[in-house]
Amino acid sequence: DGGITQSPKYLFRKEGQNVTLSCEQNLNHDAMYWYRQDPGQGLRLIYYSQIVNDFQKGDIAEGYSVSREKKESFPLTVTSAQKNPTAFYLCASSLRTGGTEAFFGQGTRLTVV
Amino acid sequence: AQTVTQSQPEMSVQEAETVTLSCTYDTSESDYYLFWYKQPPSRQMILVIRQEAYKQQNATENRFSVNFQKAAKSFSLKISDSQLGDAAMYFCAYSQYSGGGADGLTFGKGTHLIIQP
């Protein structure tokens, strides 16, 4: 079945450590996205990539980094510079054409202690 | 920057009744797309309905329909014959096409829909 896989579902890290969240898709989509969801805040765009080896900052990119070495993969690293990293993270993908449906993964809940 | 506002943090409706969720947005663009996404307790985001701004006809998907008022920048979702499975967070979202590709969605803060049996 085609879809987006995020792993792990739950992640715990100590404060000050970098952590990488995985996102893989087999939908042959060019565009991929990372969103952060906090209670009462909706989803906010962290980074997005429209093609391999290219990505752009979203609205809240500070403290995060990404790479796009393969079409299928778009990992997100939460660095120690991110002041409030505890959140629910959602990865999505879509065709590059405007207005097409974005398909979402099931999310990763990151807790930093 | 575009903004999306959902003024109803929570709504409650009796099963089989009709409910309308409100959404307004702000943009200087003339060509864009609007969406309603549903997030049930599983937290999986599911597309409910989509509207292209250049289309005057309101989108409809079975029991779900929208009232798109471009001049007023309003995009409400009507759910008819509400069912228990409709209980979820509903997010209104905006997207535009920059020419280089899809730039990502701008979301409202969501409306928590409760269905009373």
C-beta atoms of B109 and A40 within 8 A: yes
pLDDT higher than threshold 80 for residue B99: no
CA B109 to CA B90: how far, in whole Å?
9
As a whole number of Å, the end-to-end CA separation of chain B is: 41
CA angle, B69 then B105 then A22, to 5°: 160
CA A13 to chain B, closest CA, distance in angstroms equals: 22
CA B18 to chain A, closest CA, distance in angstroms equals: 24
CA A56 to chain centre: 12
pLDDT higher than threshold 90 for residue A24: yes
A75 interfaces chain B, CB cutoff of 8 Å: no
C-beta atoms of A45 and B106 within 8 A: yes
pLDDT higher than threshold 80 for residue A9: yes
Which of B6, B94, B107 is best to mutate for the A interface (most A CBs within 10 A)? B107
Amino acid at A52: V
Q: Which two tokens stand for residue A76?
A: 């997100």
B60-88 confidence digits (pLDDT tens): 999 999 999 999 999 999 999 999 999 99
Which chain B residues are within 8 Å of A90, Cβ to Cβ? 45
What separation in angstroms does the CA of A83 have from each of A107, B23, B88, B89, B108?
Answer: 20, 31, 30, 27, 23
pLDDT (0 to 100) of residue B102: 67
Contact A35, A43 (CB under 8 A): yes
Question: Which residues contact residue B2 at a Cβ distance below 8 angstroms, ignoring those fewer than 6 apart?
Answer: B25, B26, B27, B29, B32, B94, B96, B106
C-beta atoms of A98 and B33 within 8 A: yes
pLDDT (0 to 100) of residue B79: 98
Per-position DSSP letters for A13-53, written without gaps between them: E-TT--EEEEEEE-S--SEEEEEEEETTTEEEEEEEEEETT
Average pLDDT over chain A, rounded to an integer = 93
What separation in angstroms does the CA of B85 have from each of A65, B113, B115?
Answer: 37, 10, 8
Q: List the single range of A4-8, A74-78, B93-97 with lowest mean pLDDT.
A: B93-97
- Looking at residues A6-13, what average pLDDT do you find? 94
Amino acid at B90: Y
A27 interfaces chain B, CB cutoff of 8 Å: no
CA B86 to CA B76: how far, in whole Å?
16
Q: Residue B31 — very low, low, confident or very high, per pLDDT cuts 50/70/90? A: confident
Q: Which of B40, B95, B43 is nearest to A95 (CA)?
A: B95
- Looking at residues A66-84, what average pLDDT do you find? 95
Residues of A2-34 as b/e, b for ≥16 C-beta within 10 angstroms? eebebeeeebebeeeeebebbbbbeeebbbbbb
Amino acid at B30: S
pLDDT (0 to 100) of residue B111: 98
Which chain A residues are within 8 Å of B98, Cβ to Cβ? 98
